[in-house]
Structure 1
Amino acid sequence: MEEFKIRLGFENEGILPVIHIAGEITSEAEEEIVQSYESIPSEKRSRVILNFTETSYINSAGIATLISLITKSSENQGKIEFAGLNSHFRKVMDIVGLTDFVLIHDSLQTALSQS
């Protein structure tokens, strides 16, 4: 079992929040993911990128957490974007319908280049 780690960073000269998620996204990860999002100043929440490059596993509770985050963001006129999903996770996100609600970038670099 890979340890879950999360890190919030601000890219593009400190204006674009990126939540880097490593390890397994399960129910244990929910509180940290939500806290990371809520710690972003509201004026910087219009576009938040979740970086999945180092994510190894996600279960249904993890997907529910992502749905909750997407809902919370859209209620505040913000957008959540995904970056760095491997092909398996991308397929999972497609199956559960999340790709209808988020912009998906192949890599973090691609996401950062689109401002």
Structure 2
Amino acid sequence: MPDDFKVFVDLAVSIPIIHIEGEITSEADGEILGKYESIPQEKRDRVILNFHGTSYINSAGIATLISLITKASEANKKIEFAGLNEHFRKVMDIVGLTDFVLIHNSLQEALK
């Protein structure tokens, strides 16, 4: 796992937030999915992934996000994205994730 990769959950606000920093690659898969699983079931109706500190994402990282979105969707839960820079926003659009998640311009907007 790259040294600069970090993922942590914030349950202090009304909507759970998974903060992702660094590079999202195949090595991040278990950690991201594990953090989602660590959120109590009753709080998973809407979970925000905050990409503000994300520096890189490859196809395996995209596959991780698809897996997370699928898992949430099968349980009638929602995943939302916040903090994407313009490049990552285009990538999410190109791979079609924008059809399945709500993308907010900022974390503050997502929490409204």
Give CA deviations for 1:5-63 in whole Å, capped at 9, x if unaligned.
01100243xx3110000000000000000000001010000000000000000000000
The runs of 5 or more residues in structure 2 that have no matched partner are none
Where does the alignment leave 5 or more consecutive residues of structure 1 unmatched?
Answer: none
Q: Give the Cα–Cα distance (whole angstroms) in 2 for the partners of residues 30 and 57 of structure 1.
A: 14
What's the C-alpha RMSD, in Å, of the aligned pairs?
1.1
SS in 2 for 1:106: coil
Cα separation, 2, equivalents of 1:74 and 1:44? 14
1:68 and 1:7 map into 2 onto residues whose CA distance is 18
1:108: how far off?
0.3
1:73 corresponds to: 72
Local SS of the residue matching 2:17? strand
| Alpha carbons 1:11, 1:112 under 8 Å: kept | no
How many residue pairs match? The answer is: 111
| Identical aligned residues as a percent | 72
TM-score, with length taken from structure 2: 0.96
1:47-62 aligned at under 5 Å gives the runs 47-62=46-61
Matching residue of 2:7: 6
**One-letter amino acid of the counterpart of residue 55, structure 1:** T
Correspondence 1:12-31 to 2 at 5 A: 12=13, 15-31=14-30
Counterpart residue identity of residue 100, structure 2: F
Question: Secondary structure at the residue paired with 2:47?
Answer: strand
Q: Cα distance, 1:94 vs. partner?
A: 0.1
Paired with 1:82 and 1:2, the residues of 2 have a C-alpha distance of: 23
Q: Answer yes or no: is 1:63 the counterpart of 2:56.
A: no
